[in-house]
Structure formats: structure tokens, C-alpha cells
A and B are shown apart, each in its own frame.
Chain A
Amino acid sequence: MKNFSINHRKVQSVDILELNGELDAHTAPQLEDHLKKLIDENQYHIVVNCDDLDYIASAGLGVFMAYIEDIRSLGGDIKLTNMNDKVYNVFDLLGFPALYDILEKEEEAVKQFQQGSNS
């Protein structure tokens, strides 16, 4: 049964992970593998586009919790974008909006990374 997939693409120097489907304890390892791979390749400007993410459980949030410090200490960030209300509500229940950069649109996140690296 395949109810989750990740599409990885690049917009200039920014890595975009598009999440599709349902992120839970069964599918979270796929996201973890992608993040680990980006860190191994020294790619720390990461945008996670949640446009097609239908569902998230705490195991999915746990992946973001485990890697954000490493990525920020290396000068990067994970920016989350395009969440539907249902998914945003789960992040909100745990107070993530104060701890993570959650933006409406992928383009804004890319722009922020570009402005940051030019300054």
C-alpha cells in the first residue's frame, strides 16, 4: 500500500521536498531518509512543500524536531509551506508556528533563502 511519496526538486540552490499523501509512523522514515541525504550532501536550504500532504501524525512532526537544530547550526533552515488547514492545525496544537518558519507559499520561502544568502 503506497499512501505517501516525496518529490525532490531544486529551485536554484534551494532543495524542495514536495510531500504527497499521509505522513505517519509508517511513512516518516522516507522523509527522514531524504533529510539525511540532503545533510550528507551539505544542502541545508530546505523547503518542505505540503501542498499535497493530506495528513500528518506526530511521527512526521518528530522528523522535523530531530533535524532542525543540526540544519540551523549549519546555517540552513527547514521552511514549511503550502499547508492545508487540517495539517496546519496539528503543527499549531504543538506550538510549531513559534519554532518553525511556516509560510503560505513555496516562492516566499525560496525568496527568503536567496535574500539570506546574498546578504
Chain B
Amino acid sequence: MSLTNYLVLAAILFTIGAVGVLVRRNAIVVFMCIELMLNSVNLTLVTFARASGTIDGQIIALFVMVVAAAEVVIGLAIIMSIYRTRRSASVDDANLLKY
């Protein structure tokens, strides 16, 4: 048992989140996947803070959480606006910006 376990777990969670972004179409679920990716990064930061013996990693993880909260607020507001005009929360339906 070493800190590597935490890091590998974080990598796997990150990958699951990324694949979720790619395969899910519900915008809210996609957002959840992004949250999962952010959380796995936080786990990495906390782990490295412990390994390096400084507390800066935790501070940055805190900042990530704050930024994630702001991002969630804005993102969900955008999803609401899109839903209100298009009656759909599918990311595939918002595809007008193309060739």
C-alpha cells in the first residue's frame, strides 16, 4: 500500500469521467461527469500534498472546489436557458455551430 494506489484510483476515476462526457448525451449527466473529473484531480492534489509534506496542494484543491462551484452554477444556468428555448437537454441537439 502506497500513495500510488490513490493516484491510480484518481486516474481511473478521471478516465471514467472523461468517457462519460463522451458517451452521455444528457447535458446534466455530462456535467456530473465533469464534476467527477474535477474530484479525481482533487484527490491527486491532496495525495501529492501529503507526499510532499506541504499544504499547498490542499489549498489548490480548495480553489478547484470553489471554481467548480462557480462553473456548476453557470453551467446549469446555461443548460436551463437552452432547455427553455429548445425543450431539450441533449448536448447533441445544440449543434447549430458547425460548417
> Do A and B belong to a common assembly?
no
Residues of B near any A CB (own CB < 8 A):
none
